[in-house]
Amino acid sequence: MKKSVTATFRHVRITPNKLRAVVDLVRGKRVDQAIDLLRYCERRGAKSVLKIVKSALANADQQGGIDVDRLVVGIIRVDDGPRWRRFRPRSRGMAHPIIKRSSHLNIELIER
């Protein structure tokens, strides 16, 4: 039976599409490789993904019974979070909507 550990980061203030581009970089990689990739990635979502990978790693360390050196990023998923609706004034008294999106980030590290 493979051991796993999870972490969740909710209400991340970045759109899911932008976050998915970063998540695709680290899916299936070893944790130390993923941390190195994210540390030098220049995309804005890399900071949030790095934060959740480190959190899951700390969870694995706290649980015990899991070899931290053999952990792999198994499942990492980006879901839509709540959306904030704002309105921008336009000509002739009209208003156009601006939708500020957020994301929920879930990760599962698997021991290989």
Instruction: With beta carbons less than 8 A apart as the criterion, state whether 22 and 43 touch.
Output: yes
Q: What local confidence, expressed as pLDDT, does residue 3 receive? A: 87
**The tokens of 89 are what?**
């004034």
- Interval 50-94: pLDDT, tens: 999 999 999 999 988 888 899 999 999 999 999 999 999 999 999
Give the CATH H-level superfamily of domain 4-111. Ribosomal protein L22/L17 (3.90.470.10)
Instruction: With beta carbons less than 8 A apart as the criterion, state whether 36 and 26 touch.
Output: no
Give the number of other CB atoms < 10 A from CB of residue 72: 18
Q: What local confidence, expressed as pLDDT, does residue 40 receive? A: 96
Instruction: With beta carbons less than 8 A apart as the criterion, state whether 44 and 19 touch.
Output: no
Instruction: With beta carbons less than 8 A apart as the criterion, state whether 64 and 106 touch.
Output: no
Name the pTM for this structure: 0.90
Question: Higher pLDDT residue, 96 or 63?
Answer: 96
Indicate whether 1 pLDDT > 70: no
Measured over the CA atoms of residue 22, residue 23, residue 24 and residue 26, the dihedral's sign is positive
